[in-house]
Structure 1
């Protein structure tokens, strides 16, 4: 088990290393960062000073090494660097210090704030949105999948399959625009929902208030695609399980149809569904980008799209690395969870 975890973590680190290298070189040549920091008013002397401060006067390979050192949880920094960049961690040494630290994702060109602070401020909105979408997709998807399998060959089965195919085929950003327009604009008088809004909004009198109703439309929109996948997986897995000998034995013992389905068939049919759910949750964190932008939902996706518009590369790079880390962690947890649910998949 320890060897399995070590291998997973090792490959996860390689994936993150690849993401950092690709993202670093991807944003080379998209404008001078020193000019983006200073705007159009900086003189040449000031620009050269900023370029030196950001390490832009060094060769590309040194810039990459410096960025890897910054974002790594284990790094080498001078005492001046630690104070200037406000790097948090445990360091040993005198002038040059080695230590375990919070990854330094640098500062936003626009707000001058640490990128990690911006991401952690936006993270709760994205996590709440992704969890709500996954909860909606899981409950409705498993229910429809079981119903479709039990009513195999009927109009309920055909309708569930047809609807799931539509959900898989339709692009999320298009569905988002349609749902926002219909339920947040045309039917606003009946639904009480709005086209845009965040989890918390400021009222001129009452201050910061929780607005759960703003979560409904983006969560449903984000959950449509995983819902469609879960319906298909649950239906297929249930049909396979319902044809097994032990199910016929359970019926022969006089168990009710409900007990057979709930206690015997469903638990054995959920293995591929659990894998899909954990995998889709990681994807929802990334897929929320456009949904957050459409519904003006304050989350990592919204600030990333805004940063792209403003060429705020540290925020974009930090966001991509942040999301990739979530992918790696959730995939490792999914493998552990899958082994816990199905003993046959455990690694001893």
Structure 2
């Protein structure tokens, strides 16, 4: 099992390196001068030169790539010459010095995602730290709804196989998988937040924390989570329902299930004690992919509902060409996607020990 885990971690490191490379190249071969994006329309040649030197834009593409890797690496090397991009200045890096040579200091630090172009030089890590928890809460709520209801509806479909209830559940789950999230978001916001607002008391837009009208700071508004969580969970709910039904039917056709029935176990007890765990394997795999993709797929849902998460921040950054925030957000989402997949692979190996021995 240990070898299996280490192998997965090795693959993850290589994948993450590839993601970093693609992100850097993608956003550095785009037309436009990042220095001019930061300064706006009234920049001078001297100002452009200062910004380029400060952020390393005056260097070749290869040098910029190495500096980007150095920023992201926990173990990094920094120049002792003040004015160089990699100079270990106060406030830029939170680092622990390990050792120094004649012109270089080696440090251990958190990954540095650089600074926003449009938010007065605010660190991208701070922007992500403020918005990612809201997205995580939304994604966890949506996947919890999808997991609980999907498994339950899948079992109900099996219990009433080929009857009206089974066919109705299959119709609804197929419809849920087919409808795009942004369309569902618009319909739900209009119907439950506007037309039926008098009965639901739900808002069309709103985030987890809202500013008090009387100046008493912010307060938590949990009801604003209901509609975006349901909308974001509709598509994975349909997938989980279908997978659970098909997987459970396949498991119930196995010989050991027939043996359990022959020993006198009831159908419900056979499912609970013997079939349920084995039928969850494909469901767990699907949930992992959906949960990770939700961090990216929440972009439209967050924007429509006004949910102040990472997805909405990405849309705002795209509108203002704030490249560091876009790059940092994509990198964080990709990292979370990889970590979640490793975690699920380990769970999958635990559910099916044959996999970890391969």
Q: Which bin holds the TM-score, normalised by the shorter protein?
A: over 0.9
Match 1:304 to one of 311, 314, 331: 314
Superposed CA offset, 1:229-267 (max 9, x none) = 101110001111222233233233332332122222212
Is the aligned partner of 1:64 residue 2:72?
Answer: no
Bigger drift between 173-182 and 226-235 goes to 173-182
Alignment partner, residue 102 of structure 1: 110
Give 1:270-281 correspondences, 5 Å limit. Answer: 270-281=280-291
Alignment partner, residue 136 of structure 2: 127
Match 1:249 to one of 250, 259, 267: 259
Alignment partner, residue 198 of structure 1: 207
In the superposition, the TM-score normalised over structure 2's length comes to: 0.93
Please state whether the residue corresponding to 2:210 is helix, strand or coil: strand
Please state whether the residue corresponding to 1:198 is helix, strand or coil: coil
Instruction: Report the alpha carbon displacement of residue 228 of structure 1 after superposing the two structures with TM.
Output: 0.7
| Aligned mates of 2:9, 2:280 — CA distance in 1 | 26
Alignment partner, residue 90 of structure 1: 96
Please state whether the residue corresponding to 1:82 is helix, strand or coil: coil
Q: Is the 8 A contact 1:89 1:99 kept in 2?
A: yes
In the superposition, the TM-score normalised over structure 1's length comes to: 0.95
Please state whether the residue corresponding to 2:233 is helix, strand or coil: helix
Instruction: Report the alpha carbon displacement of residue 300 of structure 1 after superposing the two structures with TM.
Output: 0.9
Is the aligned partner of 1:39 residue 2:48?
Answer: no
Please state whether the residue corresponding to 1:204 is helix, strand or coil: coil
Instruction: Report the alpha carbon displacement of residue 46 of structure 1 after superposing the two structures with TM.
Output: 1.2
Give 1:176-255 correspondences, 5 Å limit. Answer: 176-205=185-214, 206-255=216-265
Is the aligned partner of 1:7 residue 2:7?
Answer: yes
Please state whether the residue corresponding to 2:35 is helix, strand or coil: helix
Please state whether the residue corresponding to 1:195 is helix, strand or coil: coil
Q: Is the 8 A contact 1:125 1:298 kept in 2?
A: yes
Match 1:317 to one of 314, 327, 330: 327
Please state whether the residue corresponding to 1:301 is helix, strand or coil: helix
Instruction: Report the alpha carbon displacement of residue 140 of structure 1 after superposing the two structures with TM.
Output: 0.7
| Aligned mates of 2:307, 2:137 — CA distance in 1 | 11
Instruction: Report the alpha carbon displacement of residue 23 of structure 1 after superposing the two structures with TM.
Output: 1.8
| Aligned mates of 1:24, 1:88 — CA distance in 2 | 23
| Aligned mates of 2:137, 2:122 — CA distance in 1 | 24
Instruction: Report the alpha carbon displacement of residue 84 of structure 1 after superposing the two structures with TM.
Output: 4.7
Instruction: Report the alpha carbon displacement of residue 347 of structure 1 after superposing the two structures with TM.
Output: 3.4
| Aligned mates of 1:181, 1:78 — CA distance in 2 | 56
Match 1:156 to one of 152, 165, 182: 165
Instruction: Report the alpha carbon displacement of residue 294 of structure 1 after superposing the two structures with TM.
Output: 1.1
| Aligned mates of 1:175, 1:294 — CA distance in 2 | 10
Q: Is the 8 A contact 2:4 2:356 kept in 1?
A: no
| Aligned mates of 2:53, 2:280 — CA distance in 1 | 56
Superposed CA offset, 1:187-217 (max 9, x none) = 1111111111111111123431111110011
Alignment partner, residue 19 of structure 2: 19
Instruction: Report the alpha carbon displacement of residue 128 of structure 1 after superposing the two structures with TM.
Output: 0.4
Q: Let me know the Cα RMSD of the aligned residues.
A: 1.6
Q: Is the 8 A contact 1:279 1:334 kept in 2?
A: no
Bigger drift between 291-300 and 317-326 goes to 291-300
Question: Which sections of structure 1, spanning at least 5 residues, go unmatched?
Answer: none
Instruction: Report the alpha carbon displacement of residue 100 of structure 1 after superposing the two structures with TM.
Output: 2.4
Q: Is the 8 A contact 2:285 2:344 kept in 1?
A: yes
| Aligned mates of 1:127, 1:47 — CA distance in 2 | 38
| Aligned mates of 2:208, 2:31 — CA distance in 1 | 33
Bigger drift between 268-277 and 231-240 goes to 268-277
Q: Is the 8 A contact 2:38 2:117 kept in 1?
A: yes
| Aligned mates of 1:82, 1:2 — CA distance in 2 | 38
Q: Is the 8 A contact 1:75 1:99 kept in 2?
A: yes
Is the aligned partner of 1:342 residue 2:356?
Answer: no
| Aligned mates of 2:113, 2:188 — CA distance in 1 | 36
| Aligned mates of 2:261, 2:98 — CA distance in 1 | 68
| Aligned mates of 2:355, 2:36 — CA distance in 1 | 54
Question: Which sections of structure 2, spanning at least 5 residues, go unmatched?
Answer: none
Bigger drift between 154-163 and 199-208 goes to 199-208
